[in-house]
Amino acid sequence: MTQTKFRALDREIEARIDALERLASDGGPASVRAAYREYVDSLAKLIPYVREGRLVQGYFHYQLKVSPRYEYLRALLAEAGTAYASTARETMARTLAGSALVILLAFGTIGLLFQRSRAKGRRLAEQN
């Protein structure tokens, strides 16, 4: 690899770290945050190897440290996504049920008010 390609790879790694920092800033689950930190730390330790052109050491560091941590982080994110999706489905079902209940209560209230209004109209008509 040429020095230009190393610099491009270095910039790409830095950009990915920045993107991950932005994504992780929402305060997700502690296990995901910890795994993310370990991944970023191992990725940051890869940068000097790339900058200095020590490809063999960089390759071994990547295989032994970065890649396993990335896979672990990916697995945790998949689990969290599944949990969030389940929670979202439950919340949506509760919201729909609550909305339906409010609509039914509104129709019932309107019906009751209508009946009272008609009854009051009849009483007024009978008095006159």
Per residue in 7-35, pLDDT (tens digit) is 676 667 666 666 666 655 555 567 777 88
Contacts of 57 (CB under 8 A, 6+ apart): 49
Q: Residue 75: what pLDDT?
A: 86
Residue with tokens 């900058």: 51
- Per the listing, tokens 């790339």 go with 50
67 three-class SS: helix
69 close to 44: Cβ distance less than 8 angstroms? no
In this predicted structure, what is the pLDDT of residue 17?
63
Stretch 98-116: mean pLDDT: 84
Which candidate, 74, 28, 94, 23, places its Cα nearest to that of 86?
94
Please state the rounded mean pLDDT for residues 101-125: 85
For residue 68, name the pLDDT band (cuts at 50, 70, 90).
very high
pLDDT, residue 101, reads: 80
